Amino acid sequence: MGKLDGKVACITGGTRSIGRAMAEAFLAEGGKVVVNGRDAAKGQQCLDEMAAGDNAAFFAGDASKQDAVEGLIDFTIERYGQLDICCLNSGGVQMTAPVAQMSDEEWQLEIDWNLNQVFWGMRRALQHMIPRETGRVIVTSSVEGKLGKPGIPGYAATKHAVNGLVKAAAHETGTLGVTVNAILPGLIETDIVRATGPDSAVAMGLGSYENLIEAFSSESAIKRPNTVEEVAAVAVLLASDAARNITGCMFPVDGGTMPY
């Protein structure tokens, strides 16, 4: 018997890294999962690797676009008849730059990808969850939702904004059987960090990717990056019945990095 037997989840950016780890953890606890990603080939590969048969499905779409995010919610409900757990996990930066060099286009992308995605997905999910009086919204935020590193102003700004959205929505839905929480991971060596890390390191004045990893690690108490499995374990907890009274929480998975 799993902690999520009979529950249906969807995950933006679920084909790899944190989202993928959440998907696998949810499946292991008896849930059904729809994962989302931009690339259909990667989606199929993800489904093949998870080998969960009818309990998993893929929905192709760019999580920085409203129709894709809302489409994921609608597809999940159509496919499995309900949506219990909405994980708004996709996000990142395309081009790191300090504020003085930040382009409007990059700024808008980060707002769409990191903030509007969460708003679009949360709104659509709540419209389904509130009448059912049950639901879990879990947002992958970041330590940068409380801090602010040079060179990634859009990321820090949008993650701060997401945390505010989570708190407000938690108060709106607190008596309706729905919880809304954010998980705040420290640095994790995901595919996206490996891909964008070298440029980020330069923008942040750290020189190399190795220095970037070292800089984040040294700020933590554990002196290492976090792992996707550590985030997934918290997501399972927040998705489970046991967490019915935890809402509006900024749940840290950061090895002791944030001061509050």
Contact residue for another protein among 171, 194, 195, 205 (CB under 8 A): 171
Q: How many CB atoms lie within 10 A of CB 10?
A: 31
The count of C-alpha atoms lying within 13 angstroms of the C-alpha of 137, restricted to the half-sphere facing its C-beta, is 37
The whole-angstrom separation of Cα 125 and Cα 118 is 10
∠ CA 62-123-191, nearest 5°, is 35
Least separation in angstroms between CB 133 and another protein: 13
User: Longest C-alpha distance within the chain, in Å?
Assistant: 54
Nearer to another protein, 91 or 252 (CB): 252
x/- letters, 177..206, toward another protein (CB under 8 A): ---------x--------------------
Instruction: Pick the closer one to another protein by CB: 132 or 223.
Output: 223
Q: Give the SS3 label for residue 141.
A: coil
Show contacts with another protein in window 200-239 (CB under 8 A). 220-223, 226-227, 229-230, 232-234, 237
- Per CB under 8 A, which of residues 63..122 are in contact with another protein? none
Q: How far is residue 240 CA from its own chain's centroid?
A: 17
Nearest to 247 by CA among 119, 144, 155, 134: 134
Locate 83 and state its tokens.
């949506």
Q: Is 155 a catalytic residue?
A: yes
**What residues numbered 143-162 form the site for another protein, per CB under 8 A?**
146
User: What are residue 148's phi and psi, to 5 degrees?
Assistant: -165, 105
| Minimum CB–partner distance for residue 246 and another protein (Å) | 6
Least distance in Å: CB of 30 to another protein? 16
Binding site for another protein (CB under 8 A): 146, 167, 170-175, 186, 220-223, 226-227, 229-230, 232-234, 237, 240, 242-257, 259-260
- Active-site residues: which are they? 155
